[in-house]
């Protein structure tokens, strides 16, 4: 599963396509391809785990599960789920979800929820968690892109460890101070994550993600896997609030 900063990292590499004219798009039968013919790509942004390809009166939001599912001028053996074609280049998306929206991204996405945007609003998120998700487990809420856009399994695991909170803790039972600290950790770690990507050292610097023992007390970590999402927990360091 992808993380918001990985999407930003790749988006930054795609900036050379800004200002270019799209000759056509292909691959997704639900998309009105005629919209894109000869349209100028004004900007490429992100929202959470979505790439946003912005045109004059509309934009395409493409959510990718894995960064490896985006290929520039390369193809996999299977057909791409969606492709942008430029005069001499193409960007191919595999296993991705494409949606086209009229207007601007801020008309459709709440930037206050994106952990990597300057608009991120921790007070807004805290209120959302305590008012509308108080009976949920914090580990599940962190991965809910409608609450916190851009959190993936690594950010969730590392920040809960930093904040010493067990992922199965109920939001209503977690002291408010701890939740505020956790949200600060999420924003700080997302920024650090983007920096670490530049030297390909996210995994090397992770404290417990994909590790076997807690670095502090050497206790074996409890590893759970739900779907394809892994969680690592030190039951000695991370308190369960219920």
Binding residues (CB under 5 A) for Zn ion: these are 214, 216-217, 234, 236-237
How many angstroms separate the CA atoms of 3 and 24, rounded?
29
Q: Which is nearer to Zn ion, 8 or 237 (CB)?
A: 237
Residue 75 backbone zone (phi > 0: left; psi -120 to 50: alpha; other: beta): beta
How many angstroms separate the CA atoms of 202 and 190, rounded?
11
Instruction: Report in angstroms how near the CB of residue 90 gets to Zn ion at its nearest.
Output: 47
Per the DSSP assignment, residues forming a β-bridge with 161 are none
Q: Which is nearer to Zn ion, 172 or 236 (CB)?
A: 236
- Who's near 110: CB < 8 A, 6+ residues apart? none
Task: Please say whether the beta carbons of 130 and 172 come within 8 A.
Answer: yes
Strands 82-86, 43-47: parallel, antiparallel or unpaired by DSSP?
unpaired
CB closest to Zn ion, residue no: 214
Q: Which is nearer to Zn ion, 175 or 220 (CB)?
A: 220
Instruction: Report in angstroms how near the CB of residue 235 gets to Zn ion at its nearest.
Output: 8
Instruction: Report in angstroms how near the CB of residue 18 gets to Zn ion at its nearest.
Output: 45
Instruction: Report in angstroms how near the CB of residue 157 gets to Zn ion at its nearest.
Output: 13
Instruction: Report in angstroms how near the CB of residue 208 gets to Zn ion at its nearest.
Output: 8
Q: Which is nearer to Zn ion, 196 or 234 (CB)?
A: 234
Query: How many CB atoms neighbour CB 129 within 10 A?
Result: 24
Pull the structure tokens for residue 100.
């086209």
How many angstroms separate the CA atoms of 52 and 61, rounded?
5
Q: Which is nearer to Zn ion, 75 or 236 (CB)?
A: 236
Pull the structure tokens for residue 61.
């939001």
Q: Which is nearer to Zn ion, 113 or 157 (CB)?
A: 157
Residue 166, φ and ψ in degrees, nearest 5: -75, 135
Instruction: Report in angstroms how near the CB of residue 212 gets to Zn ion at its nearest.
Output: 12
- Who's near 119: CB < 8 A, 6+ residues apart? 111, 112
């Amino acid at each position: 599963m992808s993380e918001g900063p990985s999407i930003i990292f790749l988006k930054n590499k795609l900036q050379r396509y800004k200002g270019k004219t799209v000759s056509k798009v292909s691959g997704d039968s639900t998309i009105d391809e005629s919209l894109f013919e000869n349209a100028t790509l004004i900007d490429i942004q992100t929202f959470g785990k979505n790439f946003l390809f912005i045109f004059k009166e509309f934009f395409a939001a493409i959510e990718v599960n894995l960064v490896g599912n985006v290929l520039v001028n390369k193809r996999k053996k299977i057909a791409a789920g969606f492709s942008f074609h430029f005069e001499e280049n193409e960007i191919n998306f595999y296993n991705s979800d494409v949606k086209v929206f009229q207007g601007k991204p801020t008309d459709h996405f709440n930037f206050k929820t994106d952990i990597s945007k300057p608009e991120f609003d921790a007070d807004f998120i805290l209120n959302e968690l305590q008012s509308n998700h108080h009976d949920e487990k914090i580990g599940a809420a962190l991965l809910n892109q409608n609450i916190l856009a851009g959190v993936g399994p690594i950010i969730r695991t590392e920040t809960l460890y930093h904040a010493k909170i067990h992922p199965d803790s109920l939001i209503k039972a977690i002291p408010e101070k701890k939740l505020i600290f956790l949200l600060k950790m999420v924003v700080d770690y997302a920024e650090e994550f983007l920096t670490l990507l530049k030297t390909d050292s996210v995994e090397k610097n992770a404290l417990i993600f994909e590790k076997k023992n807690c670095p502090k007390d050497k206790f074996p970590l409890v590893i759970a896997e739900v779907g394809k999402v892994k969680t690592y927990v030190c039951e000695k360091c991370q308190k369960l609030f219920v």
